[in-house]
A and B are shown apart, each in its own frame.
Chain A
């Protein structure tokens, strides 16, 4: 299997990450952290696919779905809760 394409995507994504994250002002660093936390819950799609197949694999997938879901739901909700508080004069 040729892995050069995927490694290219990986490297470019890191650059995009650095570019957009450096533009986030310090005021929003906590919501950035909880929000990016929720995004790392993308592991959920791997978790969903992991539930296919063997019984043990399925149970590991079950736990992974649960963990990722805590991350996704909790992360986006708490970020929204915080961002709601940032008001102008």
Chain B
């Protein structure tokens, strides 16, 4: 029986790897997700069936059944109800539950094993501690991130004097606790959990709303690492094959979160250390900094814009999060379809940090039935601006600010941007002249080839659509 169980866990690990591999293309991605889900089902069955068939079942199936039903109902409820703009919150919340599950498993194993722990079990004890610490801080940190994204907690960085010293002390405290309290005492468990929970809160609370994409990517990685550590716990406790399954899957998730964290950091030209300890980036246009030279703004009407579009052949649309806030994705698609109907080429330029999490903008546009072939990432689209007639910037600001290329004094200097200023005409739609996330003015708006169309993105696009039809 044991051999079959081991093979089943191996098959489920292969399903996860293959499923993730199929995510390399939108055509195969949906089936890949399905295969990963089947892998999970296999893993659950491999854990429960042998016990049910055995002579003296140790699992309480009634209890497991109830827990599974409650969990499924809650999970399904959020998965079905969530709006695409709220995806970062949902992922943050799920990260938290993932980390929490690992921590609870580690705690349960601790209570079971504490009396059998000898000097020989240091690997096991360290695994339990790591699983508890990472799992717990993922749980509390994720819920702070959720609160910030949902607007329940201020998106501004919450800082106080000595914050980083306190964090360092807490981290040291965990290590000291581990060395001075013997593993046979419950106090070790309680103190570790409480301090880790506090640490999770304190690490996320000073991070501003604009940096949340990095934080949720990082917590995503942590939830995987926590699962891998729990795998070591199970392995050490004699559940070798179940342990390996957790280690393999946890590593995959940990690696995935790490890669996304790197991509987000690169997209903002920030180091991870700077994001975690920097405490910059407030909410939308919180502090407007209008220093520097006066910009020569040219404000156009949608009618005039429609005439420019009529003469254009190649158009690149640059959506920012402001577009999603205005719920204007469908309006964009209608305008784009009309232009394509007139034989024009339309592409979309997606900056890595255009949304509120990695790939968020792509999902928001896909929801509005915009075909994925038209969505181009930074490296792909930048050469295209050179021979582009109109670049239409919708609710984006910092990611198109040329100061990132040229102005060494700018806070966003060095950040990779979309080179919209290379286009023949740049049209920028904004509600007003407020500065962007980074609180800095954008010189692009004063360029000779830039025209501004003020107003709500949705109203503007609807108006533009009817003006285009009238031509």
Binding site for B on A (CB under 8 A): 1, 3, 6, 9-10, 13-14, 16-18, 20-54, 56-58, 60-89
State which of B146-154, B306-314, B354-362, B440-448 sits at the interface with chain A. Answer: B354-362
6 A-B pairs closest in CB distance = A69-B71, A17-B255, A29-B359, A74-B75, A73-B75, A13-B251
Within 8 A of A (CB), among B217-270: 217, 220, 223-224, 226-228, 230-236, 239-240, 242-260, 263
Cα–Cα, bound, A3→B405 (Å):
50
Q: Which residue of A lies closest to B243 (CB)?
A: A6
Which of A43, A47, A79 counts the most chain B CB atoms within 10 A?
Answer: A43
Q: How large, as a class, is the contact surface on chain B?
A: 35 or more
Cα–Cα, bound, A64→B217 (Å):
22
Cross-chain contact of A35 among B17, B23, B48, B104 (Cβ < 8 A): B23
B109 within 8 A of A: yes
Q: Are A36's CB and B72's CB within 8 A?
A: no
A-B contact pairs, 10 of them (CB 8 A): A6-B240, A23-B24, A36-B220, A36-B224, A36-B253, A37-B91, A67-B104, A74-B76, A75-B79, A84-B30
Cross-chain contact of A87 among B64, B71, B244, B371 (Cβ < 8 A): B371
Within 8 A of A (CB), among B310-365: 350, 352, 355, 357-360, 362-363
Cα–Cα, bound, A13→B84 (Å):
31
Chain A residues within an 8 Å CB radius of B64: 48, 51, 62, 65
Q: Are B359's CB and A31's CB within 8 A?
A: yes
Chain B residues within an 8 Å CB radius of A17: 251-256
Decide if the interface of chain B is mainly helix, strand, loop or mixed. Answer: helix
B373 within 8 A of A: yes
Shortest Cβ gap from B260 to chain A (Å): 6
Q: Are B59's CB and A48's CB within 8 A?
A: yes
Q: Are B40's CB and A41's CB within 8 A?
A: yes
Binding site for A on B (CB under 8 A): 9, 16-17, 19-21, 23-27, 29-30, 32-34, 36-37, 40, 43-44, 46-48, 58-60, 63-64, 66-68, 70-72, 74-76, 78-80, 82, 84, 87, 90-91, 94-95, 97-98, 100-102, 104-105, 107-109, 111-112, 120, 123, 216-217, 220, 223-224, 226-228, 230-236, 239-240, 242-260, 263, 350, 352, 355, 357-360, 362-363, 366-367, 369, 371-375, 377
Cross-chain contact of B249 among A42, A69, A70, A84 (Cβ < 8 A): A42
Given A63-B104, A71-B75, A28-B47 contact (CB < 8 Å): no
Which of A24, A38, A40 counts the most chain B CB atoms within 10 A?
Answer: A40
Q: Are B375's CB and A27's CB within 8 A?
A: yes
Q: Are A46's CB and B242's CB within 8 A?
A: yes
Given A37-B220, A51-B60, A65-B64, A86-B366 contact (CB < 8 Å): yes
Cross-chain contact of B79 among A30, A67, A74 (Cβ < 8 A): A74
Cross-chain contact of B26 among A28, A43, A47, A57 (Cβ < 8 A): A28
Given A1-B236, A27-B362, A38-B36, A32-B71 contact (CB < 8 Å): no
Cα–Cα, bound, A31→B68 (Å):
24
Q: Are A45's CB and B366's CB within 8 A?
A: no
Q: Which residue of B lies closest to A53 (CB)?
A: B112
Given A43-B102, A89-B371, A30-B248 contact (CB < 8 Å): no
Q: Are A10's CB and B228's CB within 8 A?
A: yes
